[in-house]
Structure 1
Amino acid sequence: MRALLITGPVGVGKTTVAEAVGDALAAASVPHAVIDLDRLRQRWPSPADDPFDLELELRNLSAVARNYAEAGAHRLVLAGVLERRADRSRYAAAAGAKLTVCRLKADLSVIRKRLVARHHDSALQWHLNRAEELEKIFAEAWVEDFVGDADQPVAEVAQDVVTGWLAAERV
């Protein structure tokens, strides 16, 4: 099993690109599954000592990845936020796969436009602040194997991500 984790700040297009990568794998007849990690930890309230519910996300990823593998998936495409390099091994273990990480990067003005289009409520400011915070975290954490430019059309981003994934696996 091989897994690709597409990470980046909120609003960069992780889930959209993951779905497009899944489409590319389907077109190439590669058995796979696309997993939105946010959905694996979506509950309220989160524990005070784990505000983004990483522990629940990893437990659920382990179960879901195992089910997909048993159903014949050879590749997993994951979309989520990986903030700490130390957690890479935990994601790989939960996925039961060799893990490659792609960090999507886009200009904050592009992310801002996407977030404004998506959030019309009080959550907008939180998401804008979180996007800036994550950009700073990623600049220092070096969680990725390669970076994808998310300022271009989704199909182009997905193609670049697939190409980067294949190149990173050869290393």
Structure 2
Amino acid sequence: MTTALHCVFLNGTVGVGKTSTADALADLLTIRGVPNAVIDLDWLRFAWPAPTGDPFNRRLELANLSAVIPNFRAAGTRLLVLAGVIEGTLQREEYEQVLDQLLVVRLEAGPATVQHRLRRRHDPLDPSLDWHLDRAIELQAILSSADVDDAVLHTDGRDPRSVAAAVLGVLKQQWPTSHIQMAAGDEITQ
């Protein structure tokens, strides 16, 4: 019998802290002895040019994700942390077809926080900065109205480690009977 691969999808607009939180969550899981892996989904779809009708290369991302899941499973991964964007119900269903157990946690921050993070991340002369600033506002509205998340966590004024600790709390609440060992004597199973 194959053990289910639990997947936590950190959803959110650009600059909200998905990748930083994913990295911090991996550290916390490793400390607790939970076999884990992290995928920033941007890298699974990073190709140019994007096909007509698929400007963000979602089909490529899903195909690549499908291809690597068996490798993580074979390596003993129990919890896969994904950082990306799910804009609606149809997209969530596409991920659910590829993944065993999916928990979507949306990270949210106010516009000032997101703008500050994006300006720190991009060179002021980088022409993509304006696109990212505009996309952050647009995407935040899309994600708020899509309502595809199992939980929403606010990242304003919080460092990635404290947000990751909050994600662990969501895991314990949402998967109270999971096979994932969170800490000695503290187990969540499904």
Q: TM-score band, normalised by the shorter chain? A: over 0.9
> Once superposed, what is the RMSD of the aligned Cα atoms?
1.2
Residue 24 in structure 1 maps to residue 28 in structure 2: yes
The residue type paired with residue 165 of structure 2 is: Q
SS in structure 1 opposite 2:86? coil
Structure 1 segments of 4+ aligned residues over 2 angstroms from their partners = none
1:76 is aligned, of 59, 73, 80, to 80
Q: Deviations over 1:5-27 (max 9, x none)?
A: 00100000101101111111101
Instruction: Tell me the residue number matched to 2:188.
Output: none
1:69 is displaced (CA, Å) by 0.4
- Tell me the SS of whatever aligns to 1:35: strand
Which has the larger helix fraction? 1
TM-score, structure 1 as length reference: 0.96
Deviations along 1:110-137, whole A, 9 cap, x unmatched?
Answer: 0001111111211001000110011110
Q: 2:133 aligns with which of 128, 132, 140?
A: 128
Question: Once the 2 structures are TM-superposed, how far is the Cα of residue 153 of structure 1 from its aligned partner?
Answer: 1.4
**Structure 2: which amino acid aligns with 1:108?**
P
Task: Measure how far apart 1:75 and its partner are.
Answer: 0.9
State the number of aligned residues: 170
- The percentage of aligned residue pairs carrying the same residue is 44
- Give the match for residue 166 of structure 1: 172
Alpha-carbon displacement from aligned partner over 1:53-107 (angstroms, at most 9, x marks no partner): 1110001011111110011101100000111122212112223x21000000011
> SS of the counterpart of 1:34?
strand
Counterparts of 2:111 and 2:136, CA distance in 1: 8
User: Is the Cα contact below 8 Å between 1:148 and 1:157 reproduced in 2?
Assistant: yes
Give CA deviations for 1:129-148 in whole Å, capped at 9, x if unaligned.
11001111011100210011
Structure exhibiting the larger radius of gyration computed from Cα positions: 2
TM-score (normalizing by structure 2):
0.86
- For structure 1, the 5+ residue unaligned runs are none
Q: What is the distance in 2 between the residues matched to 1:128 and 1:61?
A: 28
Contact 1:146-1:168 at 8 Å conserved across structures: no
Counterpart residue number, 1:100: 103
Gaps spanning 5+ residues in structure 2: where? 178-190
Q: Bigger shift: 27-36 or 81-90?
A: 81-90
> How far 1:34 sits from its partner (Å)?
0.5
**Partner Cα distance (1:77, 1:93) in 2:** 17
